[in-house]
Amino acid sequence: MERIRVILDDKKAQDITIIDVRGTSTVTDYTIIASGMSTPHIRALYEEVQHRLKQEGIACYRRSGETEGGWMVLDYVNVIVHLFVPEVREFYALERLWDDVAAMREQPGDGEERL
CATH of the domain at 84: 3.30.460.10
> pTM for the complete prediction?
0.85
Domain assignment present for 73: yes
Domain assignment present for 72: yes
Domain assignment present for 113: no
Report residue 41 CA to chain centroid gap.
14
Tens-digit pLDDT string for the chain (115 aa): 899 999 999 999 999 999 988 888 889 999 999 999 999 999 999 999 999 999 999 999 999 988 788 999 999 999 999 999 999 999 999 988 877 665 444 444 555 545 6
Domain assignment present for 7: yes
- Looking at the structure of the chain, the number of domains it has is 1
pLDDT at 81: 98
Residue ranges in the chain assigned as alpha helix (H):
2-10, 39-55, 86-92
* Residue 46 domain boundaries: 2-105
Domain assignment present for 112: no
Domain assignment present for 20: yes
pLDDT at 30: 93
